[in-house]
Amino acid sequence: MSDHDAAGGESPRILVFATNNISDPGVDLAGSAHMHYPASVVVIPVPCSSGIKPKWIARALDKGFDGVFVAADGTDCAYMLDCTKRTAKVVEEAQRLIREQGGDPARVKMAAICSVCAEPFVSHMEKFSAALAKIKAA
Amino acid sequence: MSERRIGVYICHCGGNISDYVDVKQVLEGIRKEPCVAIARTAVFTCSDATQQDIIKDIKEQNLDGLVVASCSPKLHLHTFRSVAERAGMNPYKYVHVNIREQCSWVHRDDKPSASRKAIRLVRGGIAKAGLMDPLQSFRIETIPKVLVIGAGIAGLRASLALADLGIGVYLIEKKQEPGGWVADMKSTFPNHRSGAGLIKGLVERVHAHEGITFFSGAELVEKSGSVGAFKALIRSGDEEPFSVDVGAMIVATGFDTYAVKEGEYGYGMEGVVTLPEFKAWIDTQPAGELVYNGRPIKTMAYVYCVGSRQAAQPDLEKPNKYCSRFCCSAAMHGAICASTLQPRVRQYHLFRDVRTYGKYETLYEDASRLGSVFLKFDGSAPPVVESNGNGLTVTVKDMLSAGEELEIDVDMVVLVTGMVARENKALNDVLKLPIGQDGFFNEIHPKLRPVETVIDGVFIAGTSQGPKTSSESVAAALSAVSKCAALLMKGYVELEPLVAQVNSDRCTGCAVCIESCPYSAINMIACDTGEVAYVNTSLCKGGGACVPVCPENAIDVLGYTDDQIESMIDAMAAEPLAEGAAT
């Protein structure tokens, strides 16, 4: 799948934060299963989604990414049971920073991606890309 | 700007990457990055020859940073860290970039886009490599004991092999009796050895071995600690749970057999049996006339691939798409047993493909020689089993005789059922091991790291990992044993130094981070200006939960510092997407 849309315009650039043990293997599995998602999606692996700094998310949008997707461990987190709650706090704080910068908080999305969530990941990328395209066009 | 001298290697991975990513374009796209001292492509960067070339480059070019863009880091992160180390470079100055699973394989339909993405990813890796600090791994003492979960043939064999190596074993079995599926079998393929006899011998040796402590009716209910030093809480029957300290675990919890639904291939009608039901029956038949439920069995049909290689169907919530591997050979073996007991029995095998791989091909030959007839059907037109008043009629379109529809009157239909993953939610919740699309536990890599999991120190073996024959289960068990031995017999394990670190100049001693740590790894210590947070590195797991809660931005996880992550963000954001716009 291209990094450009059918009209030749740039597809929304998405930065994904994925976790080394859980969601990054899920993203890998989408590739191993030869599924497709836009080439404008890139991944930075981190140990746990609860350890992402909100300012990294804000910086990514500031530097040119159209959206940031936090592929959280959810209940599969090997580190802690309340990982989802903690990651949600990170995302909320990032959205607050983005609002302060005059941006649209909908450019940040979080969802649990497990180590076998290849299909959900691809679906999230397609939907998020479409949503970001609308935000860009607005 | 960093003054590093970084070596960058871009892998073709045979054609796995280069068929879909223009590696030359990637090379040109990153060659002029400020810190890149040398950049090359290689057909297989993981090959011994290329590893030697990289080592030579590091030494000759005096490199102090290394980036390899290849497959997933799950496969080769440690390979290339080792390359760096062998060349005298600190292994944590290595950065791995995944341009296979997260690039070439995803964007096979658009080489230009895939190539541009690969450039962005590699640039991100180079930016990070320019800021990687040398780090030293931690050593922790390992406990020379292993918890083996499941006392089937894999668990029993693993326990004995570990104990023979001098490693203490706690073997737990959920059921009251050890032995698993094989314990109930009279004759097993390929050598017609008694499964029950085999298990009896293993169980006797397990009971006699002073290095093995066996608990029946026991389950793992809680796991804490980490590789080399786990604490496992075990509940045995109604007794109070007790804990054991182990350095590693082997999960050998086995499989369940596919549960045929009522009506599926006539199941429920008298004379229609599953493979395990057939096996239990044939094992008890004396030589001479075969009798089932008081009826003589003179003609039999085997329907292969029942519950395996299933296509997606509206009424099938989760099809078993995989091949169960063992069932063709098991059915052939059963047919040989039947022919041996009663040479006049007529046997028809309705198959999709015969997969009696390797040495099991001789079972196929033997069954054919003894009179079995083979009819190939198409997966989209499976055989139909109906009652004919006197017995059963199987209707099948035989692909090998130009699609001729055959009706075969038989006395028994054997549904050759495969293996399915065992439902074990409670254990899965404790172990948190990744589960594959087929429902079985997932290894890191089926060829390169076939018994390792993403949880360091927890290994999988036998059919908990996927369908296997009993000998393959034992091979996997012994593989897990060798991994445990390599881990534990050294006496220590080296842990990654990628843990949290407090910048004491920024820390105001608010102690918010202490509450955020699930491992109680952060304490306050006195310093000139009062108290600051301090991370106990042996307890810290490097998850980073403390990182975003710090109001002063005073905590980073090493390897994921502000500078490193932000440099990646900047590098990947800066790369223009448009064709030819890259500089």
DSSP result, B440-475: SBPPSBTTTBTTB-SSTTEEE-GGGSS---HHHHHH
Residue B521's pLDDT is: 85
**Mean per-residue pLDDT, A65-79:** 84
What digits encode the pLDDT tens for the residues B39-69?
A: 999 999 999 999 999 999 999 999 999 999 9
Confidence label for B449 from pLDDT (cuts 50, 70 and 90): confident
Contact assessment for residue A67 and residue A109, using Cβ atoms and an 8 Å cutoff: yes
Residues 171..210 of B with a Cβ closer than 8 Å to A: which? none
pLDDT surpasses 70 at B567: yes
Measure in Å the smallest separation between the Cα of B247 and chain A Cα atoms: 18
**B20: helix, coil or strand?**
coil
Give me the pLDDT at residue B581, please. 39
Q: In terms of Cα–Cα distance, which of B275, B199, B249 is closest to B474?
A: B199
Cα separation, B525 vs B536, in Å, equals 11
Per CB-CB distance under 8 Å, the chain B contacts of A114 are 434
Percent of chain A exceeding pLDDT 70 equals 92
Q: Note the pLDDT of residue B575.
A: 60
pLDDT score for A5: 73
Q: State the average pLDDT over residues A67-82.
A: 80
The ipTM of this complex is 0.96
DSSP labels for A55-113? HHHHHHHHHT-SEEEEEE-GGG-SS-TTHHHHHHHHHHHHHHHHHHTT--GGGEEEEE-
Closest-CA residue to A39 (of A133, A137, A129): A129
For chain B, give the mean pLDDT: 93
Enter the DSSP assignment of B270: T
Q: Which percentage of chain B shows pLDDT scores above 90?
A: 83
Q: Chain B residue closest to A15 (CA)? A: B569
Question: CB neighbours of A37 closer than 8 A, spacing ≥ 6?
Answer: A1, A30, A121, A122, A125, A126, A129, B106
Q: Do A19 and A55 contact (CB within 8 A), yes or no?
A: no
Encoded amino acid at B540, one letter: C
Beta bridge partners of B435: B441
Q: Which residue has the higher pLDDT, A79 or B236?
A: B236
Residue B231 has pLDDT above 60, yes or no: yes
How large is the average pLDDT for residues B455-465? 93
Phi–psi pair at B409, nearest 5 degrees: -85, 125
Over residues B155-170, the pLDDT tens digits come to 999 999 999 999 999 9
Q: Which of residues 422-461 of B touch A (CB under 8 A)?
A: 432, 434-437, 442, 454-455
Which pLDDT band, with edges at 50, 70 and 90, does B279 fall under? very high
- Average of per-residue pLDDT across B203-231: 94
CA-to-CA distance for A39 and B86, rounded, in angstroms? 36
Closest among B499, B432, B443 to B466, alpha carbons compared: B443
Q: Closest Cα partner for B501 from B513, B515, B518, B512?
A: B513
Note the pLDDT of residue B57.
Answer: 98
* Whether pLDDT at B4 is above 60: yes
Does the beta carbon of B15 lie under 8 angstroms from any beta carbon of chain A? Answer: no
Domains of chain A: 14-137 (3.40.50)
- Cis peptide before B144, with omega less than 30 degrees from 0? no
The pLDDT of B558-575, averaged and rounded, is 94
pLDDT confidence of residue B116? 95
Q: Average pLDDT of chain A?
A: 91
- In the prediction, which pLDDT does B315 show? 78
Is the predicted pLDDT of residue B236 greater than 60, yes or no? yes
Q: Could you write out the DSSP letters of every residue in B554-565?
A: -EEETTB-HHHH
DSSP type of residue A13: P
Predicted confidence at residue B2, as pLDDT, reads: 59
Sign of CA dihedral B284, B286, B290, B296: negative
Q: How far is CA B363 from CA A117, B311, B350, B393, B475, in A?
A: 39, 28, 16, 27, 21
User: Residue B518: what pLDDT?
Assistant: 80
Q: Please report the sign of the dihedral spanned by the C-alpha atoms of residue B427, residue B433, residue B436, residue B437.
A: positive
Q: How crowded is residue B474: how many other Cβ atoms within 10 Å of its Cβ?
A: 22
Tell me the nearest-neighbour CA distance from A60 into chain B, angstroms.
Answer: 6
More confident residue, B261 or A7: B261
Backbone phi and psi for residue B425, each to the nearest 5 degrees, phi listed first: -60, -40
pLDDT value at B15 more than 50: yes
Phi, psi (deg, nearest 5) at residue A112: -80, 130
Distance CA B5, CA B2 (A): 9
Residue B267, pLDDT > 70, answer yes
User: How much is the average pLDDT of B553-557?
Assistant: 97
What is the signed CA dihedral for B162, B163, B169, B171, rounded to 10 degrees?
Answer: 80
Task: Evaluate whether B230 touches B404 at the Cβ level (below 8 Å).
Answer: no
pLDDT at B455 over 90: no
Tokens of B350: 């309705």
Which comes out higher in pLDDT, residue B435 or B244?
B244
pLDDT given at position B553: 96
Residue B540 corresponds to which tokens in the numbers above? 């810290």
Kindly report, residue by residue over B322-378, the tens digit of the pLDDT: 999 999 999 999 999 999 999 999 999 999 999 999 999 999 999 999 999 999 999
Phi first, then psi: give them for residue B332, nearest 5 degrees. -60, -45
The residues, any chain, with a CB within 8 Å of residue B174's CB and separated by 6 or more, are B150, B217, B218, B219, B253
Residues of B whose CB is below 8 A from A60: 569, 573
Nearest to A31 among B105, B110, B546 (CB): B105
% of chain A with per-residue pLDDT over 90: 75
B328 touching chain A per CB within 8 A: no
Contact A40 B117 (CB under 8 A): yes
The pair of structure tokens assigned to A84 is 């989802």
User: How much is the average pLDDT of B16-37?
Assistant: 95
How is residue B299 written in tokens? Answer: 């003609």
Q: How far is CA B167 from CA A9, B151, B152, B247, B480, in A?
A: 62, 17, 19, 10, 13
Query: What CA–CA distance (Å, rounded) separates A129 from B287?
Result: 68
| Predicted confidence (pLDDT) at residue B409 exceeds the cutoff of 60 | yes
Nearest C-alpha in B relative to A47: B543
Q: Is B543 on the interface with A (CB under 8 A)?
A: yes
Region B532-552: what's the mean pLDDT?
A: 90
B residues 493-532 near A, CB within 8 Å?
498, 516, 518
pLDDT at position B18, please?
97
* B191 in Cβ contact with B213 (< 8 Å): no
Q: Who wins on pLDDT, A89 or B581?
A: A89
Q: What is the nearest CA distance from A101 to chain B, expressed in angstroms?
A: 18
Q: What is the pLDDT of residue A78?
A: 57
**Given pLDDT bands bounded at 50, 70 and 90, which one contains residue A2?**
confident
- The amino acid at A106: A
Is residue B460 packed enough to be buried (19+ CB in 10 Å), middle (13-18) or exposed (0-12)? buried
CB atoms within 10 A of CB A98: 21
pLDDT class for B582, splitting at 50, 70, 90? very low
Cα B491 from Cα B488, distance rounded (Å)? 6
Cα B178 to Cα B519: distance, rounded to the nearest angstrom: 36
Cβ within 8 Å, pair A28-B98: yes
pLDDT of A79: 62
Within 8 A of B442 by CB-CB distance, chain A residues are 115-116
CB atoms near residue B402 (< 10 Å): 7
